Chains A and B, each alone.
Chain A
Amino acid sequence: MHSEAAIREPLILGHKTYHDITQDIVGPIENKAPRGWYVLITIAGLIALYGVGCIMYLLSKGIGVWGMNKSVDWAWDITNFVWWVGIGHAGTLISAVLLLFRQKWRMAVNRSAEAMTIFAVIMAALFPLLHMGRLWLGYWVFPLPNQFGSLWVNFNSPLLWDVFAISTYFSVSLVFWYIGLIPDFATIRDKVTKPGMKKVYGILSFGWSGNAKAWTRFEEVSLVLAGIATPLVFSVHSVVSFDFATSVIPGWHTTIFPPYFVSGAVFSGFAMVQTLLLIMRKVMKLEAYITVKHVEYMNIVIIVTGSIVGVAYITELFISWYSGVEYESYAFINRATGPYWWSYWAMMTCNVISPQVFWFRKLRRNFAFTFFMSIIVNIGMWFERFVIIVTSLHRDYLPSSWNMFHPTWMDAGIFIGTIGIFFTLYLLFARYFPVLALNEVKSILKVSGESYKKEAAKHHHH
Chain B
Amino acid sequence: MANKVIYAVYEDPELLKDGARKLVSNGIKVKDTWSPFPIHGIDPIIGVKRTRLAIAAFMFGITGTCLAGFGIWYFNIFDWPMNIGGKPSQAFYKNLPAFVPVMFEFTVLCAAHGMSITYLIRNKTLPGMPARNPDPRSTDDKFIIEVRTADNHGHSAEAITGLLRETPVFEINERQY
Contacts and interface: CB of A to CB of B under 8 A. Distances in A.
The binding surface of chain A is classed by DSSP as helix
A218 to B, nearest CB: 7
Interface string B102-145: 10111011011101100110111111111111001111110000
A171 B141 contact: no
Contacts of A189: 131, 139
A34 interface: no
B84 interface: yes
B132 A190 contact: no
Contacts of B138: 190, 210
Interface in B1-57: 12, 14, 32-40, 42-43, 46, 48, 50-51, 53-54, 57
Given A187-B140, A207-B125, A442-B37, A213 B108 contact: no
A239 B105 CA distance: 10
A235 B101 contact: yes
A152 B75 contact: yes
Interface in A197-221: 202-203, 205-221
A443 B111 contact: no
B93 to A, nearest CB: 14
B54 A224 contact: yes
Interface in B84-109: 84, 89, 95, 98-99, 101-102, 104-106, 108-109
A363 to B, nearest CB: 36
Contacts of B79: 152
B105 A225 contact: no
A245 interface: no
B177 interface: no
B72 interface: yes
B99 A155 contact: yes
B105 A161 contact: yes
B129 A207 contact: yes
B131 A211 contact: no
Interface string A429-453: 0000000001110110010000000
Contact of A205 (B40, B75, B104, B131): B131
Nearest to B125: A206
A231 B101 CA distance: 11
Contact of B53 (A164, A176, A224, A228): A224
B38 A216 contact: yes
A151 B83 CA distance: 13
A224 B59 CA distance: 13
Contact of B57 (A22, A153, A224, A443): A224
B53 A168 contact: no
A2 B82 CA distance: 59
A231 B127 CA distance: 30
Output the residue of A207, A210, A224, A235 with the most chain B CB within 10 A: A210
A212 B51 CA distance: 11
A186 B140 CA distance: 9
Nearest to A206: B125
Contacts of A210: 34-36, 133, 138-139
Interface of B: 12, 14, 32-40, 42-43, 46, 48, 50-51, 53-54, 57, 61, 71-72, 75-76, 79-80, 82, 84, 89, 95, 98-99, 101-102, 104-106, 108-109, 111-113, 115-116, 119-120, 122-133, 136-141
Given A161-B102, A161-B105, A211-B133, 15 more contacts: A22-B36, A22-B140, A153-B75, A155-B102, A156-B82, A156-B95, A179-B119, A187-B36, A190-B136, A191-B140, A203-B127, A224-B57, A228-B112, A235-B104, A239-B101
Which 5 pairs from chain A and chain B are nearest by CB?
A207-B129, A18-B141, A190-B136, A206-B125, A215-B38
